[in-house]
Amino acid sequence: MKLESHLRQRRDGGRPLLAPYVTGGLGSGWLDVVRAAADAGADVIEIGIPFSDPVMDGRTVQEASRRALELGATPATIVAEAAQLDVSVPLVVMTYYNIVAHAGTERFAAQLADAGIDGAIVPDLPLDELDG
């Protein structure tokens, strides 16, 4: 697994890990922010897919999500735009289960993989929805 091996290698090298969060779709330059974070030494970059009711996030991320949604950000556009990124660190998305369920879990995972995204954080995934 690219993400896990990448992070283990860096951690085992004795250095602290940096995983900045960037709200996807927050302005026309959000991809440049991701590139800048990678160039500045991030070990992995978390791209937030905005959600209309981000109850698990603090005020800053809630406000960023609200603004990105007002600008027309959608899960599909964020994933499609992220596919344009050519950075040397893994990318993961953070989103809410409603978005994953709406797209269909397998379809959502395939879209992420096709876009070159290495993982997903879904903090509100109900345990009874997990396979196996």
Distances in whole angstroms, Cα of residue 95 to Cα of each of 40, 56, 75: 24, 10, 9
Comparing CA positions, the residue from 61, 76, 64, 69 lying closest to residue 112 is 76
Alpha helices in 2-131 (DSSP H): 2-12, 30-39, 59-70, 75-82, 97-103, 105-114
What residues are annotated to the active site?
A: 46, 57
CA gap 88, 72 in Å, rounded: 28
